């Protein structure tokens, strides 16, 4: 169907309108309007990782940094492994843990917080007493005065409220409850339950932030002395559900020191009430440890030099990052006091680059802000010089005195590489028979930084060098020369198993799995591995092909074998071979038989001066290893380890023993002189008990009938 002129006009106009209004809608949706006339009600005083803010008049979330103002009706949220602290103008401090979101509404007499999800902590110790705070979460309102509270709601789960100081009032529907200090309220869909926290934590305080320069920090945990409780445990985890446990320890006192790396942790006490025989828990407190290592410039290093001919060099700046940093400022100046600034860059990254610096001496420094403080790196000096000639190309591969075989040259796999400066457009490579390059046999030009050598060369030494070709016809300084050598086709070097090696089956297997490996060659191609019972490889028992440089062959029965690896060309013909190497698969070693102490034997040590271990010797074994453990429930505590060639051993270190349950293990080895074990037996474990046959006599104290006191 053919369109008329009017139809075309209407169609074009419609498309223009669609595009225009779509663009306007997108602009209106994504543009940052700012806070408008909303008043500033607080400041973000601390931020870790990612925190975002959304103004009341926009739908787009934007990242925020420390020290930025918070406006009335702002929404604040944190991401995974992130946190933020907001200080309101009435003195209230609100800490948002990871994956948390709130909306702040500030009026003359009240502060309303819409708590959507996550975990928050509100501290009102320094707050204006005239101003009340209401924290709303769905159909529940928590009202607090000069109190410290913690609230948690994960997704659609229950709302948990813990009062650390003061009181809090809960209102939901017609229900109103007062929650006092050291009490916890759990609001489910149908019920409100209040628990008294008999296990009272002291330090670290809720949502405490610890900043350290060390890789690990010693944290002092403390709590009030626990009464009417038994079996008290201190638990530390990396999730509020305590599914990712870091440490659990049974404790008897009112404190514990634990060394922890940087991260976010949750901790609590767990104990059994002696009266009710029920398990009780303390509140769960959150702790974050952040490593704030000193700020340092990585590049350019102090005293670095750059040179160029026509085009100014690209200078890359890189510095160490920090979990606390929100922004970095790179300053480049022409004096060491950093007063004559040449360039200043503000960035959230840990690096920047400049290609505008000409010849001269420069000084650079980076500054970061975070955790309420500003930190500066040491000042580094670097120099840029303009030269009449360019630096010579830097040779990379092959290294000096490298050898290549004729087959590599025939297949065109000898590649020369080098590095040049940006001004060089192409490079000339020269190859000669002498170091003075009076007998040049090859000259080539490359627009890249590599070249392949093809053709036929006689065996012997050769030398190569590279010269940069500058646009306009001039040349750079020629590089230094390197030597390489062409040799006849060499043999594939093997790695394992070596000639006359002995290999034993693993575990209970009677056949062995043997790992064959060889060194990489200069040429690409497939490898053919042959394993045979005879040195002529005429009766192959295993045959494998691989593109790699190793292959494992399973199921080799005890006996002597020979192996060889060959490299194949595209037609399948062998172009290189390794030597024929022999190895032996040994028979699996048996299991040693324990004589004493036997299983569940009771050993009376009352009149003994040694603990006697004895076993039957194994044929082919020349070493035995004994390990003794003391048994404490399911835990085996190592006591002693001993190696002997005999079939028995007497342990005379009786001070290491005690009355109780013990276990000992025995393992036999076939060990070559000065080498590791060739074969080893299965590990035998035997448990027994040590007692003292005669009971201890009671000690009697004798004293005279009359005691004189001076």
Written as one string, the DSSP assignment of 234-292 is EEEESSTTS-SEEEEEE--SSEEEEEEESEEEEEEEEEEETTT--EEE---EEEEEEE-
- Neighbouring residues of 515: CB distance < 8 A, sequence distance ≥ 6: 496, 497, 550, 551, 552
Model confidence pLDDT, tens digit, residues 164-204: 888 889 988 888 889 888 888 888 877 888 888 888 899 99
Q: From CA 459, how far away is CA 50, in angstroms rounded?
A: 64
**In the prediction, which pLDDT does 54 show?**
85
Topology classification of domain 394-487: Immunoglobulin-like (2.60.40)
CATH number of this structure's domain 40-194: 2.60.120.1440
CA distances from 85 to 67, 100, 120, 239, 517 (A): 10, 12, 10, 20, 58
Mean pLDDT value of segment 682-692 = 89
In eight-state DSSP terms, residue 558 is S
Distance in angstroms (rounded) separating the CA atoms of residues 672 and 679? 10
pLDDT of residue 695: 44
| pLDDT given at position 337 | 92
Specify the CATH number for 297-386; select among 2.60.40.10, 2.40.110.10, 3.20.20.120, 3.90.1150.10: 2.60.40.10
**Does the structure show a pLDDT above 60 at 704?**
no
Q: What is the pLDDT of residues 284-313, one digit of tens each?
A: 888 988 887 788 899 999 999 888 877 788
Q: Can 394-487 and 494-585 be said to share one CATH topology?
A: yes
User: Which has more pLDDT, 478 or 58?
Assistant: 478
Compute φ and ψ for 232, nearest 5 degrees. -85, 135
Residue 163 predicted with pLDDT over 50: yes
Q: In CATH, what number does 494-585 get?
A: 2.60.40.10
Give residue 507's pLDDT: 65
CATH number of 201-291: 2.60.40.10
Say yes or no to pLDDT of 442 above 60.
Answer: yes
pTM of the model: 0.48
Count CB neighbours of 39 within 10 A.
11
pLDDT beyond 70 at 674: no
Residue ranges covered by each domain of the chain: 40-194, 201-291, 297-386, 394-487, 494-585, 593-691
Higher pLDDT residue, 685 or 15? 685
pLDDT for 5: 59
Strand intervals (E) in 80-215: 83-88, 93-96, 101-106, 110-123, 132-137, 140-144, 148-153, 159-165, 168-172, 175-179, 183-187, 192-196, 201-203, 208-212
pLDDT at 27 over 70: no
* Per-residue pLDDT at 156: 63
Q: Residue 685 pLDDT > 80, yes or no?
A: yes
Mean pLDDT of the chain: 83
* Whether CATH 3.30.70.330 fits 593-691: no
Q: What is the mean pLDDT of residues 353-374?
A: 84
């Amino acid at each position: 169907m053919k369109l008329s002129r009017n139809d075309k006009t209407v169609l074009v106009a419609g498309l223009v309108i669609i595009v225009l209004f779509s663009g306007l809608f997108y602009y209106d949706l994504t543009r940052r309007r700012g806070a408008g006339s909303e008043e500033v009600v607080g400041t973000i005083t601390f931020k870790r990782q990612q925190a975002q803010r959304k103004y009341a008049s926009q739908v787009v979330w934007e990242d925020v940094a420390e020290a930025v103002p918070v406006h009335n009706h702002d929404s604040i949220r944190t991401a995974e492994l992130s946190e933020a602290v907001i200080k309101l103008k009435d003195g209230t401090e609100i800490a948002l843990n990871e994956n948390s979101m709130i909306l702040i509404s500030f009026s003359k007499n009240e502060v309303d917080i819409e708590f959507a999800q996550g975990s928050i902590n509100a501290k009102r110790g320094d707050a204006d007493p005239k101003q009340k705070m209401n924290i709303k979460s769905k159909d529940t309102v928590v009202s607090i005065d000069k109190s410290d509270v913690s609230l948690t709601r994960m997704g659609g789960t229950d709302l948990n409220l813990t009062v650390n100081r003061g009181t809090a009032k809960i209102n939901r529907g017609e229900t109103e409850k007062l929650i006092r200090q050291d009490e916890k309220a759990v609001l489910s869909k149908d019920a409100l339950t209040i628990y008294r926290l008999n296990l009272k934590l002291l330090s670290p305080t809720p949502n405490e932030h610890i900043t350290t320069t060390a890789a690990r920090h010693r944290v002092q945990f403390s709590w009030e002395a626990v009464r009417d409780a038994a079996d008290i445990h201190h638990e530390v985890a990396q999730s509020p559900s305590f599914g990712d446990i870091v440490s659990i320890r049974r404790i008897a006192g009112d404190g514990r020191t634990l060394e922890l790396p940087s991260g976010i942790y949750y901790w609590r006490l767990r104990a059994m009430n002696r009266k009710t025989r029920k398990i009780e828990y303390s509140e769960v407190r959150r702790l974050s440890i952040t490593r704030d290592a000193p700020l340092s410039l990585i590049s350019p290093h102090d005293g670095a030099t750059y040179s160029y001919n026509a085009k100014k060099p690209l200078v890359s700046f890189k510095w160490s990052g920090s979990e606390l940093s929100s922004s970095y400022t790179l300053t480049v100046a022409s004096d060491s006091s950093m007063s004559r600034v040449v360039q200043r860059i503000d960035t959230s990254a840990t690096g920047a680059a400049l290609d505008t610096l000409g010849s001269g001496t420069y000084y650079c420094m980076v500054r970061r802000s975070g955790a309420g403080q500003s930190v500066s790196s040491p000042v580094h000096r670097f120099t840029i010089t303009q030269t009449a000639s360019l630096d010579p190309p830097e040779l990379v591969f092959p290294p000096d005195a490298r050898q290549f075989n004729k087959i590599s040259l025939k297949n065109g796999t000898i590649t020369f590489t080098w590095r040049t400066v940006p001004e060089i457009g192409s490079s000339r490579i020269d190859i000669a028979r002498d170091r003075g390059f009076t007998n040049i046999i090859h000259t080539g030009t490359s627009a890249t930084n590599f070249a392949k050598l093809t053709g036929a060369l006689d065996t012997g030494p050769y030398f190569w060098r590279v010269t940069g070709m500058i646009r306009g016809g001039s040349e750079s300084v020629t590089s230094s020369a390197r030597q390489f050598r062409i040799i006849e086709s060499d043999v594939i070097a093997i790695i394992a198993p070596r000639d006359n090696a002995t290999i034993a089956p693993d575990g209970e297997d009677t056949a062995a799995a043997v790992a064959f490996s060889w060194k990489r060659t200069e040429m690409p191609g497939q490898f053919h591995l042959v394993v045979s019972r005879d040195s002529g490889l005429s009766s192959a028992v295993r045959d494998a092909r691989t593109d790699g440089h190793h292959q494992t062959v399973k199921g080799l029965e005890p006996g002597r074998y020979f192996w060889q690896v060959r490299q194949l060309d595209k037609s399948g013909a062998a172009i290189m071979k390794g030597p024929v190497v022999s190895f032996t698969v040994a028979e699996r070693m048996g299991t040693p038989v324990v004589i004493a102490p036997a299983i569940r034997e009771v050993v009376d040590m009352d009149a003994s001066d040694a603990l006697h271990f004895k076993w039957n010797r194994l044929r082919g074994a020349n070493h035995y290893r004994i390990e003794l453990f003391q048994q404490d429930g399911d835990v085996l505590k190592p006591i002693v380890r001993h190696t002997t060639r005999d079939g028995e051993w007497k342990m005379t270190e009786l001070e290491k023993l005690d009355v109780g349950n013990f276990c000992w293990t025995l393992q036999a080895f076939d060990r070559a002189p000065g080498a590791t074990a060739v074969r080893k037996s299965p590990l035998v474990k035997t448990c027994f008990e040590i007692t003292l046959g005669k009971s201890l006599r009671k000690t009697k104290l004798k004293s005279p009938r009359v005691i004189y006191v001076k």
